[in-house]
Structures are given as C-alpha cells and as structure tokens.
C-alpha cells in the first residue's frame, strides 16, 4: 500500500563556519536521481565547490556528511552516513563511512546531510535539535578524547545515552594528525584519508544531532518493512553472514589465515598460530559484554565490553572489528587480547584511523628491530614486537605531535621519507600517500590494485564477497590472475559504490542486488533499473577520478610501496609476486574503466555515457 505518493527529496544544511551563517538548501530531483545520496551527492558537491588549488586545510575545502534514501528506515544499520572531503594524506578526494546513529537522526530532523565550509576563528560544535541548528562554543572541550567529548556534550545539553548522536575529533584531529578521523557513538569511525584533520582545520570539534520526534517519509512503508525483513533473512541465511551476525567480524580470522591475508609483524610472515583468542566465540566467554547495536540493527557483532582481569582489569571499551583486532594483535606482534582491545579503543578515543595507525606502529617496530630507529629516536620507548604499553604511549605521542610523534603524525609514507636510512623499504603504503586497510593484500591482489587506482582515499571495490548474480560477471576463480583481478576490480565496483549512496551499512545488505533495488524504489517512488544503479555508482567513481586529476594526482603515484608489493616468504601466498604483472594489470583495468592509459583521464565517451558532459571540458581542453 502506497502511503501518500511521496517522492524522494532532500534538504541539506549548509554551515559557513567563517561567518557563522546556517542555511537550508534543497536538491533538484534530477540531481537526486543521478547521485542518490551519501557519497554520490558528496562527490558532486566536492567537484563543483572545491576547485584546483584549494588544499585540504584551506577554508575553501568542503566537509560533507550525508545520509541517503534508506537512512533512518527499518533497514538494518541505516544510521550510516558518508563523509566526503578533500583529504590530507593524498590531498585528493575522500569518501569514508561511519555507522551508528547520526545518519538516522539527521533524517529525523528533516535533513539528508550537512555541508561545512569556511573555518571558525575558535573551536565550536554544531547542535541540531527538532530541525534547528546552532553553532556553540567548544573551547571548553579542547584536549578531551572522543568519548569524553561525547559525554561532556550530552551532559551539557541534558541528553541521555541514545537521545543524542555525537561525532567529534579527539586530540589527533585538534593537532591535525594526517590520519585523524571523525569518531562517534563511542567507537564508530569515519577515518580514511584524514577526514578528522579536515574537521580540525575548520576548528569544528563535534557534531551533535538529537533523536528528535520526526520520522523518515517513504513512498511505500509496508513494502520497505517487508523488504527489510527479506534482506535480513537473506544475510543470516548465508553461513559467513550468520557468523559475523552472531559473533562479529573477528570470526574472519580463520579465513584470513587460510587464504594468507592476515597481516603479521609488518608483513614479515603470514603465520600467526595464536589467532583463536581473537575470535568473538572465544573472548566473549571472559569479557563482560553489553550489546551496543547501530540504528535498526539486530546483529550481535558489537558490544561494550569490560576487561575482566589482569593489568587492564575494569577497562571499558567498544568491541573491535576484525581490522582493529588485526592491527593491534598480529600486525604489531601482540598475542594479548586484552591489550589489543585497549589499544583499539585508545586509537578511537584519540581520534585516529586504526588502519593507518596499525601500519604506522608496525613500521616503527620493524625499524626499531633493524636499528633504523634507536631508543633515542623513539623518545626512550622500547618499540619491540608485542610491547603493548610502548605502543600505547607512542599512540599518545602521535596524537599530541610530541617528539617523534610529530614525524609519525604525517602517516606511514611521509614518516618513512623523513626518517630515511632504509625506512622506506619497511613501509607499507600507496604512493598517493595512504596506507591500506588491515589485510596483507599480497594475498588479495585485487585490493592492491583497488587501493592504487581508487579516487576515494580508500578502497572503491573492497573485498570480493557476495558478487550479485544480477551483474552477470565472469567467475572470479584465481586471485593471482592479472586479467581476472583487473576485470573484477572494475566490474564489481558498482555494488559498494551504490550502497555508499544509500545511508546504510554495507555489511547488512547481503548479495541480492535485486532486493536492494526493490527497497530503494519502495523508499523513493522511483523505478530505478539495474543499469541505472550501476551508472550511479560509476558516475561517482569517475567524478572523483576527474577531481583528483584536476588536483594534480596522476598515474605516476598509482603504485604500491616496495614492501606492500613484496613476495610473501611463507603462508598460502608464498612466492606470489605481483610486480611483474603490475603494468599489465593497469593496462587491463584502465581499459575496463574507459580511461586513457597515459594520463589516467576518463575518456570523453566514458564521461558522456554517464551524463558527465560538463566534466569533459574540464579534462579534455
């Protein structure tokens, strides 16, 4: 039953932090249909409003937070929002997502998203309640970590735990650490490519959005509810989906070891026999656990946990996801689950990206072991494998830009360049300037290629899981086949890119793209086809690609570092060498994407086929 012929529309709040002016703006229906929401609307805003020459820290940069048409609905995890900006590790396009509640609460207040421009002359935070926004003084919040900031704002405004969603920058964002993130609802993070440093450069400490009494209007409410249930049942009917639903993403450890992508000791090895304690089915037997789900999500993969005993007894934090467990366990040579739990939460509290931070500290430990760094260089800290307390102290130094922390705050690539003396040979990064996610991608060539060529400051395709049969793709059978890798990275990209426009969690939607399209149409009143959805995704990818090229990011930096592309010495991927195939993979990938191989520019016919005619003149004068 249609509930009133509602046609999907969107209102954004535009906040000029230089003048303090706040205004509302709508989005034209044809623009919504082309870009949908989330990362798509953000990419269009970034391209249109941030011209070449505007650096990441310039007041002219934009910081966009956007939900989408499924935000705040009954779809599990629909509190998700995208952050789009010009990031600081690459000084190029950035899209990153966070789960939790903020995206849903924005929609309850009548807004699809926020666009920040300018920069305040003193620290402030934004508060939204019942559809009204105000800029408030935040100078009393300086120095507080993200959990402390959240608690202080809720107390100041008189809200209980779930009445207000707060996302903030911690000390790392205040000090413009280049991999600072935006952290909220305890441990949820939008952290890739230094989005928190951009927020810090604008002197914006936090964004606080009330639950409000509004609701999200949808075209066919009954159908949305029915399809949300079907999507949920489809997910938990899959064995791997059920495992993460019940016990969290840490259940991926066995598969990571089996296929060789678990990162261990800065890629020195792929063996880590002490993995079992890091799985939820094991650590939950001893940790005190209290469920802490995201908006509308019944998944049991996330808890607020308390360490039961030992040196960290009584420490309270959020249950880490797989990548955080990997970063603060095997990647730094640590076998103490409680210590990894504490380190993961310290990174969130300080306000940093756990992926870049994990690669950074494993790099430091590797350099320390080889004598490239000495105890004098590390300000007296004994940076050895598994030394969790030294790692904890170093993280705090990085967030404060104290001592060697000031060098490390620049991220893996720039720190290695400054340290010198062989440090670059021990650093894992993409030449654009950022480190990868928490996997050893030498066993997942598609992610190395994805990272190197992405315009988003992180992956655009991501893990090759749940390939929708509707896409009609050729089978992906060999992760070390250059041709298969290039093909799948190009052709599988639309799934994640379309989901990132919707305002919901990528993990909860399963692999049935037909159901996903049905629920988008039920929510909006559209009749969007599969071909149209794929075009939405590819439009987003090509727009960010064009943005980066205009801002000086060319093909010469689309390559992994020496260590990131080295040959594994053991494990399932032993002896696999990506380097001889790299140029061929790039050739094939550019061909699939419709990009000029020499310059990296999307070809005019590619842009026109996506309705990006105006971009042709920007790239092909």
Summarize pLDDT for 373-410 with one digit per residue, the tens. 999 999 999 999 999 999 999 999 999 999 999 999 99
d(CA 50, CA 47): 6
The topology under which CATH files domain 222-426 is 1.10.569
Neighbours of 160 (CB within 10 A): 8
Burial class (CB in 10 A: 0-12, 13-18, 19+), 237: exposed
Is this model's pTM higher than 0.95 or not? yes
H/E element, 589: helix 582-593
Phi, psi of 184 (to 5 degrees): -160, 175
Q: Does domain 441-619 have CATH number 1.10.3720.10?
A: no
Confidence of residue 2 (pLDDT cuts 50, 70, 90): very low
Spatial contact of 600 and 555, defined as CB atoms under 8 Å apart: yes
d(CA 320, CA 303): 9
d(CA 173, CA 16): 19
User: Among 176-190, 355-369, 452-466, which stretch is predicted with the lowest mean pLDDT?
Assistant: 452-466
Confidence of residue 5 (pLDDT cuts 50, 70, 90): very low
Confidence of residue 315 (pLDDT cuts 50, 70, 90): very high
Spatial contact of 235 and 509, defined as CB atoms under 8 Å apart: yes
Compute CA distances 595 → 399, 471, 528, whole Å: 39, 21, 26
Which pLDDT score, from 0 to 100, does residue 539 have? 98
Q: Where in 397-523 does DSSP place strands (E)?
A: none
Q: Give CB contacts under 8 A, 24+ apart, made by 581-588.
A: 581/482, 584/482, 585/445, 585/449, 585/482, 585/485, 585/486, 586/449, 586/453, 586/486, 586/555, 586/558, 587/486, 588/482, 588/483, 588/486, 588/487
Give me the sign of the Cα torsion angle 506, 509, 515, 521.
negative
d(CA 79, CA 311): 35
Spatial contact of 513 and 470, defined as CB atoms under 8 Å apart: yes
Spatial contact of 619 and 549, defined as CB atoms under 8 Å apart: yes
pLDDT digits (tens, 9 = 90+) for 65-106: 999 999 999 999 999 999 999 999 999 999 999 999 999 999
pLDDT surpassing 50 at residue 286: yes
d(CA 498, CA 261): 26
Percent of the chain with pLDDT over 70: 99
Which pLDDT score, from 0 to 100, does residue 7 have? 60
C-alpha closest to that of 105 among 160, 165, 167, 185: 165
d(CA 410, CA 429): 13
Three-class secondary structure of residue 89 per DSSP: coil
> Which residues, in sequence order, are bridge partners of residue 137?
124
d(CA 532, CA 543): 16
Confidence of residue 1 (pLDDT cuts 50, 70, 90): very low
d(CA 150, CA 182): 12
d(CA 415, CA 365): 13
For residue 139, the Cα-to-chain-centroid distance in whole angstroms is: 28
d(CA 152, CA 375): 38
pLDDT digits (tens, 9 = 90+) for 208-261: 999 999 889 999 999 999 999 999 888 888 777 788 889 999 999 999 999 999
C-alpha closest to that of 11 among 23, 25, 21, 28: 25
pLDDT surpassing 50 at residue 288: yes
d(CA 330, CA 265): 6
Give the pLDDT mean for 499-504.
Answer: 97
Compute CA distances 318 → 158, 306, 347, 389, whole Å: 23, 9, 11, 19
d(CA 442, CA 610): 33
pLDDT surpassing 50 at residue 3: no
The C-alpha angle with vertex 106 and arms to 100 and 109, in degrees rounded to 5, equals: 140
- The pairing of strands 164-168 and 132-137 is unpaired
Residue 562 token pair: 């020496």
Residue 102 token pair: 């903020």
Residue bearing tokens 């002197």: 203
d(CA 85, CA 105): 21
Q: Where in 107-161 does DSSP place strands (E)?
A: 113-117, 124-129, 132-137
Work out the mean pLDDT of the chain and round it to a whole number. Answer: 96
Overall CATH class of domain 11-210: alpha beta
Which pLDDT score, from 0 to 100, does residue 468 have? 84
C-alpha closest to that of 508 among 38, 71, 76: 76
H/E element, 133: strand 132-137
For every residue of 218-277, DSSP letters joined together read -S-HHHHHHHHHHHHHHHHTSHHHHHHHHH-GGGGHHHHHHHT---BGGGTBS--TT-GG
- Strand 316-318: give its sheet, edge to edge: 288-291, 303-306, 316-318
Q: Would you list the domain boundaries of the chain?
A: 11-210, 222-426, 441-619
Which pLDDT score, from 0 to 100, does residue 97 have? 98
Phi, psi of 202 (to 5 degrees): -90, 0
pLDDT digits (tens, 9 = 90+) for 523-570: 999 999 999 999 999 999 999 999 999 999 999 999 999 999 999 999
Phi, psi of 349 (to 5 degrees): -65, -40
């Amino acid at each position: 039953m249609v509930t009133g012929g509602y046609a999907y529309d969107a209102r954004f709040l535009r906040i000029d932090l230089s003048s303090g002016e706040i205004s509302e703006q709508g989005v034209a229906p044809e623009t919504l249909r082309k870009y949908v929401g989330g990362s798509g609307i953000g990419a269009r805003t970034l391209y249109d409003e941030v011209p070449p020459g505007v650096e990441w820290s310039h007041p002219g940069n934009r910081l966009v937070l956007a939900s989408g048409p499924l935000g705040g609905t009954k779809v599990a995890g629909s509190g998700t929002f995208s952050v789009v900006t010009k990031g600081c590790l690459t000084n190029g396009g950035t899209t990153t997502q966070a789960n939790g509640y903020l995206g849903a609460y924005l929609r309850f207040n009548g807004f699809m998203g926020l666009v920040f421009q300018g920069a305040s002359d003193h620290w402030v935070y934004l508060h939204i309640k019942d559809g009204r926004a105000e800029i408030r003084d935040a100078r009393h919040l300086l120095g507080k970590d993200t959990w402390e900031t959240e608690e202080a704002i809720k107390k100041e405004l008189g809200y209980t735990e779930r009445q207000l969603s707060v996302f903030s920058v911690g000390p790392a964002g205040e000090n413009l650490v280049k991999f600072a993130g935006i952290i909220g609802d305890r441990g949820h993070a939008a952290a890739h490519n230094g989005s928190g440093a951009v927020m810090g450069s604008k002197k914006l400490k936090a964004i606080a959005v009330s639950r409000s009494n509004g609701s999200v209007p949808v075209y066919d409410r009954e159908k949305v509810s029915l399809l949300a249930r079907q999507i949920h049942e489809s997910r938990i009917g899959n064995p791997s989906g059920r495992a993460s639903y019940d016990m969290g993403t840490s259940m991926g450890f066995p598969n990571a070891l089996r296929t060789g992508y678990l990162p261990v000791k800065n890629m020195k090895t792929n063996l880590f026999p002490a993995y079992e304690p890091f799985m939820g089915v094991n650590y939950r037997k001893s940790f005190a656990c209290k469920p802490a789900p995201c908006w509308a999500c019944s998944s049991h993969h996330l808890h607020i946990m308390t360490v039961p005993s030992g040196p960290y007894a009584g420490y309270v934090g959020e249950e880490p996801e797989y990548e955080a467990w990997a970063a603060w366990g095997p990647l730094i040579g640590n076998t103490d689950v409680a210590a990894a739990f504490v380190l993961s939460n310290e990174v969130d509290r300080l306000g940093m990206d756990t992926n870049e931070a994990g690669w950074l500290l494993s790099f430091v430990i590797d350099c320390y072991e080889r004598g490239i760094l000495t105890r004098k260089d590390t300000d007296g800290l004994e940076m050895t494998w598994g030394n969790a307390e030294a790692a904890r102290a170093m993280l705090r130094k990085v967030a404060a830009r104290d001592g060697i922390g000031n060098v490390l705050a620049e991220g893996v690539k720039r720190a290695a360049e400054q340290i010198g003396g062989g440090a670059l040979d021990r650093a894992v990064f993409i030449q654009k300037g950022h480190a990868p996610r928490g996997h050893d991608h030498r066993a997942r060539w598609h992610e190395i290629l994805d990272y190197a060529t992405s315009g988003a400051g992180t992956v655009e395709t991501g893990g090759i899981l749940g390939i929708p049969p509707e896409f009609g793709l050729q089978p992906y059978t060999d992760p070390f086949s250059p041709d298969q890798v290039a093909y799948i990275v190009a052709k599988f990209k639309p799934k994640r890119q379309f989901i990132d426009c919707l305002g919901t969690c990528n993990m909860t939607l399963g692999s049935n793209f037909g159901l996903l399209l049905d629920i988008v149409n039920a929510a909006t009143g559209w009749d969007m086809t599969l071909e149209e959805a794929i075009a939405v995704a590819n439009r987003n990818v090509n727009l960010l690609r064009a943005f980066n090229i205009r801002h000086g990011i060319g093909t010469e930096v689309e390559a992994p570092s020496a260590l990131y592309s080295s040959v594994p010495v053991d494990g399932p991927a032993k002896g696999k060498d990506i380097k001889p195939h790299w140029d061929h993979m790039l050739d094939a990938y550019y061909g699939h994407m419709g990009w000029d191989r020499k310059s990296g520019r999307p070809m005019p016919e590619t842009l026109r086929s996506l309705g990006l005619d105006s971009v042709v003149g920007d790239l092909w004068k």
